[in-house]
Each structure stands twice: as C-alpha cells, then as structure tokens.
Structure 1
Amino acid sequence: MIERRSCRALLLSLTFAVLPQVALAVDDCTRLTATGNPEYPPYLWRDPQDPQHLVGANADLLKYMAGELGLDVDVKYSGPWGRAQEEVRTGRVDLLAGYFLTRARQNEVNFIEPPFLHTPSVVWVRSDSAFAYKGWDDLRGLKGGVLVNNSHGEQFDEFARTNLNLEAVPGARQAFEKLLHKRSDYVIFEQFPGMALARVLKVDEQVQVLEPPVSSEGLYLAMSHDSPCNRPQLREQLAAKMREIVSSDLPQRLVARNLALWRQQQENVAAP
C-alpha cells in the first residue's frame, strides 16, 4: 500500500513538473516568425519605416490569419530571397509567406493548402530587343536571368535545367540591370513584381513582357519542417482558415491595396 502511494506521488510530481514545460511550448507557438522575398511588391517588400520588417499583400494576409486564430506573427526581413529560404529551411524562421510548391521543397517545408494567390511568371525583355516568342522553345540559344533558388513551376524548372542557359543572381534588381546593360537577353520573373521594379528603376518604357507566361503558379504559406511549432494541429488550423480566406475576395483586395500603397511610397520617394 505504501509502495502504491509512493508511486502515485511520484507520478503526480512528474506530471506537475512536465505540465509547465508543455504549457510553455504551447504559449511559445502563439508567436510565429515569417519571412519571404523582400523584392516582391505588391506581395512583399521592406517597410520603408522599419526596414527589418516586410510589408505587402502576403504579410497582410498572414497577419489577418494569425489574428483570426489568436496568434501573433512577426514578418521580418531575413536577407535576399535565397537567404530567406535558408532561414526557414533550418527552422530559424517558422514560415515563408509566399512559396511555389515543388517536390524538392516538400522535403523541407509543409505547404499549407490551398494556395492563397496565383501569380504568372513571364519573360521580360528590352523593348528594343524583343524577339519572336510563342513558348519555352523560343528561349533556346539565348542567355536568360533568374533569381537564386527561385522556382517558376516544376515543369518549367525541369525544362530550363536541360534546355536553357540561365544565370542565377541574388536579386531581381540585379537581374533587370544585367538585362538593361545587354548582359542577358531576357529575365524570367513574376509579372506584378516586375512591373513594380520597372517603375522603381524608371525603366517602364525600356522593358516589356512577352506573352504567354512561362507558368502561373500558386503562392503558398509554407512551414519549416524544423520549426519547433510545426505541429499537425496548428497546420490544420492554418489550412482551415486559408480555405475560408480564399473562398472570399480578400487576397485580391489585399493585392490591389498594396499595389496602390507601393506606388504611393515610390511617388513619395521621387517627390523633391
């Protein structure tokens, strides 16, 4: 009898010792960190008032989701796009706010279904050096530019690896500058972010888009496999809220609002 009481006492003491740790872990996961491509307006860009954080449609959507679920999310600048992906792969940051789905990436992150937006990737060229283009094959034999670790859909990525001459650079600005200096013939980049960048560089008239897009891929919220907060229950809560959001026009409204915000910010910078 004494032994049973002793065992029960021991179990109770162990339970109470563990409970604070469990509670702490749950509390910790009410606060998440996120990052993304910092050269991606109207989806993401560095906050002019606080450059260590990102703003944009993706950040607004993620913060809305978090608020609905009683969570707090810090959407921070983690460096160029390649570095931002590495921060999430290693679990130093919990989430990527906008990621194209590929099989290789599924080995590193959990994609929260469904995608919250679709964005076309297009061929950008100099306006005075446009070439006949109807599809991927027309890019053979030319020199193109892309961003490091960027994807434009699994099918196009595979085609490009075996058929195209592409040079990867850290940022979109650098890719466009190489194009304008005739060090490449074209750049593969998303349409809306490319339009925003062309405005910033004041080269709207010097570049143009060739049709059709090389791809149109879904933008996903993605959680690092190595995030301490990567738990099935949290992922399902995020997915359920995402399904609710994409059934509304909220994502499109956030893009329109942030495109206007981006343009206003650029006008303020340009004003004397």
Structure 2
Amino acid sequence: MYSLKLSILLFMICISANSFSQTIVAAIGDYPPYTSKDDPKARLAEEIVTEAFKAVGYQVEIRWVPWKRAYEEARLGKVDFTFAWFKTKTREADFYYSLPLYPVQEVFFFIKGSQFSWSSFEDLSSYRIGSTLGYSHIEVLNNAGVEVELAKTDTIALQKLYNRRIDATPIDVHAAYYLLSRLPQKYRDAITHSDKPVLENHQYVLASKKLGEQSERLIAQFNQGLSETRKNGSYEKILAKYKQHTRNTNL
C-alpha cells in the first residue's frame, strides 16, 4: 500500500512538473509572412515570440482579431500582450516594449518601366502615392507634405498600383512579395520595388502599462527568453527558414 501511494505521489509530481508552463494570451491580426491564421509558413513573428516565451516557461495562446481590435484589447489589458508592432511615441505612452524582434524595411513598389524614382520626399510631389490604412509611414509622408491615397489592405493597394490608379505605394518588402506570390503572375511580372527605404524600423512585443508590474515582468521575461533563443541558435534557425521562404517569392 505504501509503495502504491508513493507511486501515485510521484506520478502527480511528474504531471505537475510537465504542466508547469503558464499560458498567456496574445491578440494579433493577420500579416503574413509575420503572422498568419491560415498559412503555417507565414509566421515569422509568431515563431520567434512563442519560442522566446517557451524558453522561460510560457505557452502562448493566440487570439485572432482585426489589428485595430488587437491593439485596443492589449492597451486595455484584456489580453497579456500583442505583437509585432513598430515603436511610436503614441504607443510608448500606453505600452512597455520588448527588445526588437528583427529589422524591417518599407519600400516603394511601382510598375516596371515607369518613370518612378525618388531620393527625397520632395521628389514624390509629382506622383500619385498610395498606402494602406494603419501604417505609421502615413504620418511621416503627410508631415513631409506628401498626399497619400489610402486603401483598406495592401492587396488592394497593389491592385490599384497594377491598374495604374496610383504610381507607387510603400509596403513592407517581405509582406508585399508574399502578397504578390498569391496574386496572378501578371502582377509579379509588372511590379517591382525601389531599394531606398521609406522607413526602417524594428517590430516589438507590447504589453499594456495598465497592467503595471505584471506587464513589466512579462516583457522582462520575454527579453530573457529572446536572449536565450539567440544563444541556443533557435532564433537564427527561424530566420534562416524564412529567408528561404522569401527567396522562393522573388526576394
């Protein structure tokens, strides 16, 4: 009887140890190849974030919502965190930021053979410039005196570009080629991009300041986990996998 009780006790300890990891909830939207509800090969940010949290004992539960709602749910503390966002002064007032996840570039896409060329924002005055609702570069362009015609999605912006309703539109370079790979071949044949970045930034994990020490602690633990993934090589493995994916989509 004693040995049976001991065996049961040891079994319960093992179960407890295996279920030690705490589940935390992130609200995010769809932005392949960084986040994707449907495409497991388009989850660069998701893989980095979940791997970093896993390294410090957390399991991440993803809540898929529109980006605006993801931001608001995270800001109000209805979820533990959100990702992957650029750093802005407005957001810094509401959120604690992690260490940067990876660098990103937004560049102008335009029709091959067109006369589009730019070296400064002043050069853009003679072009019809498009963009997508919610991008932080819109404020940058507006502040430089550039009028921007907005689309609801990057796909719509690329379609407007192909149909020559706009002359150029800035999009994250990897996101744009992901979208182009899913549009008809004629789009890929017609559209190219400028090497000069409109905006260079990093993406981050954000946790609400409304949750105070809880969010500060979560961000500190994420940073620790991210550093661990860099040390053990899993971070570079994830990046290498997605570099291969982007090579397959003309980058």
TM-score where L is the length of structure 1: 0.72
How much has 1:170 moved relative to structure 2? 2.8
| Structure 1 segments unaligned to the other structure (5+ residues) | 1-26, 267-272
Alpha-carbon RMSD across the aligned residues, in angstroms, is 3.0
Question: 2-side partners of 1:184 and 1:230: how far apart?
Answer: 46
Q: CA 1:83–1:90 in 2, change beyond 3 Å: closer, same or farther?
A: same
Equivalence for 2:201: 217
Q: CA 1:78–1:262 in 2, change beyond 3 Å: closer, same or farther?
A: farther
How much has 1:130 moved relative to structure 2? 4.1
Match of 1:207 among 191, 205, 209: 191
How much has 1:220 moved relative to structure 2? 1.0
Matched, 1:70 2:70: no
Match of 1:146 among 118, 131, 136: 131
Question: 2-side partners of 1:89 and 1:233: how far apart?
Answer: 16
Matched, 1:236 2:220: yes
**Equivalent position amino acid for 1:32 in 2:** I
Question: Secondary structure, in 3 states, of the residue corresponding to 2:37?
Answer: strand
Question: 2-side partners of 1:78 and 1:190: how far apart?
Answer: 21
Match of 1:131 among 116, 137, 155: 116
Equivalence for 1:105: 91
Question: Secondary structure, in 3 states, of the residue corresponding to 2:102?
Answer: strand
Question: Secondary structure, in 3 states, of the residue corresponding to 2:159?
Answer: helix
Matched, 1:32 2:24: yes
Q: CA 1:213–1:231 in 2, change beyond 3 Å: closer, same or farther?
A: closer
Question: 2-side partners of 1:243 and 1:62: how far apart?
Answer: 12
| Structure 2 segments unaligned to the other structure (5+ residues) | 1-18
Larger displacement relative to structure 2 (64-73 or 246-255): 246-255
Say whether the 8 Å CA contact 1:120–1:214 is kept in structure 2. Answer: yes
> Residues 18-59 of structure 1, C-alpha deviation per residue, up to 9 Å, x if partnerless?
xxxxxxxxx9x9322223341331x2222248xxxx961111
Larger displacement relative to structure 2 (229-238 or 181-190): 229-238
Say whether the 8 Å CA contact 2:107–2:198 is kept in structure 1. Answer: yes
How much has 1:259 moved relative to structure 2? 5.6
Q: CA 1:257–1:242 in 2, change beyond 3 Å: closer, same or farther?
A: same
Q: CA 1:82–1:255 in 2, change beyond 3 Å: closer, same or farther?
A: farther
Question: 2-side partners of 1:247 and 1:159: how far apart?
Answer: 39
How much has 1:247 moved relative to structure 2? 6.0
Question: Secondary structure, in 3 states, of the residue corresponding to 1:187?
Answer: strand
Question: 2-side partners of 1:148 and 1:248: how far apart?
Answer: 38
Question: 2-side partners of 1:190 and 1:249: how far apart?
Answer: 26
> Residues 135-177 of structure 1, C-alpha deviation per residue, up to 9 Å, x if partnerless?
332222422222222224xxx8434334111133332111111
Aligned length: 228
Match of 1:177 among 159, 169, 185: 159
Equivalence for 1:18: none
Say whether the 8 Å CA contact 2:32–2:42 is kept in structure 1. Answer: no
Question: Secondary structure, in 3 states, of the residue corresponding to 2:77?
Answer: coil
How much has 1:99 moved relative to structure 2? 0.9
